[in-house]
Amino acid sequence: MPAAGRDAGLLAGLAAIWATAAIRKLATGSVPSLPMISALVLTLQAALVIGTGELWIFLLQFPLANSCLCVLFARTARGPNPLVARLAAEVVALRQPATHHPGLHRFFQRATWLWAGIFLVLAASLAVLMMTEPGSTFLMLSTAVTIVLVVAGAGASTLWFLSVLRRLGLRLRFAPA
């Protein structure tokens, strides 16, 4: 792929995600964490690729981004506002009980650790693939590995969450649209 085409594609993707964040900010007054994380990661990735023009640096973005996500999730896991709880509220409009529920908070902390672990495994897997596979094979395998781990993590998190709700006697509620 010529550098000009690659750079144009990266800049178009970057413009699209920042435009989405800006539209969301104008429409609702806030931008959820997930689009902001995506915009920041994509900005860093695009700067590295365009600045160096090196394919291996482009490929390096995948394990680095997942390493950053691992750290981000792990940093919030023990605190009062675990990232999984914030994402559940922002992405699927999940309401938490009006009063702090220790069992539910414990679930969100542990689920945040789970996702930190998923991103750690993903980063390590992608680093190994990057060093052992040619670029085109790496892109195909990294996509497959990412999909498998994210879908497995989402499924496990959902089943775990529903079992915690049932055990705690809580009902599932979503914020009104």
pLDDT of residue 101: 81
Alpha carbon distance 110, 7 (integer Å)? 40
On whether the pTM is more than 0.75, the answer is no
Q: Residue 112: is its pLDDT beyond 90?
A: yes
Q: What is the mean pLDDT of the chain?
A: 87
Q: Which residues partner with 174 through β-bridges?
A: 94
The angle subtended at Cα 116 by Cα 113 and Cα 121, nearest 5°, is 125
Q: Among 60, 48, 41, which residue's Cα sits nearest to residue 6?
A: 48
- 86, 57 contact by CB (below 8 A): no
pLDDT > 90 fraction of the chain, expressed in percent and rounded: 46
Spatial separation of the C-alpha atoms in residues 146 and 139, rounded to whole Å: 10
Q: And the tokens for 134?
A: 């040619």
Q: How confident is the model at residue 177 (pLDDT cuts 50, 70, 90)?
A: low
CA dist list (Å): 17 to 22, 53, 86, 107: 9, 22, 20, 31
**Structure confidence at residue 50 (pLDDT):** 84
Q: What pLDDT score was predicted for residue 174?
A: 67
Give me the pLDDT at residue 96, please. Answer: 67
